[in-house]
Amino acid sequence: MSETVYEYEGDRVVRSVTTTEPEWTDADRGLVLALLAEQRDTCPMCGHPMSQCRDEKTAGGWTVIEEVCQPSRVAQAVAHNVAESKKRGVALLTKRS
């Protein structure tokens, strides 16, 4: 939101001052900075905090959980068929039918 105040000398405008509220509040900025700090401390390989996943003391203390992404499973099967047919330049996307 912005507001413009006009100053007059008689009938003539001599100055106008526009005040605009910032798009981002201090709270917004704080949240973005916190998110950026969290992203910097998150391992791009496993998604855990680097302070945990890079600590040798945690070696052997992790459990692997296997989950199946159904769209990826179907796309991988199609990719296998595309590779066997030797098609080139095929981009595979998934959408729910």
Q: How confident is the model at residue 3 (pLDDT cuts 50, 70, 90)?
A: very high
SS3 label, residue 80:
helix
What is the per-residue pLDDT for 1?
A: 84
Write down the pTM of the prediction: 0.50
Bridge partners (DSSP) listed for residue 49: 42
What pLDDT, in 10s, does the model give residues 36-94?
999 999 999 999 999 999 999 999 899 999 999 999 999 999 999 999 999 999 999 99
* Overall domain count for the chain: 1
Asked whether residue 1 is domain-assigned, the answer is no
Asked whether residue 55 is domain-assigned, the answer is yes
Spatial CA neighbour of 41 closest among 28, 32, 51:
51
Asked whether residue 57 is domain-assigned, the answer is yes
What pLDDT, in 10s, does the model give residues 6-41?
999 999 999 999 999 989 999 999 999 999 999 999
Asked whether residue 31 is domain-assigned, the answer is yes
Asked whether residue 59 is domain-assigned, the answer is yes
Asked whether residue 76 is domain-assigned, the answer is yes
Asked whether residue 18 is domain-assigned, the answer is no
Asked whether residue 41 is domain-assigned, the answer is yes
Q: Residue 34 is part of which domain span?
A: 25-83
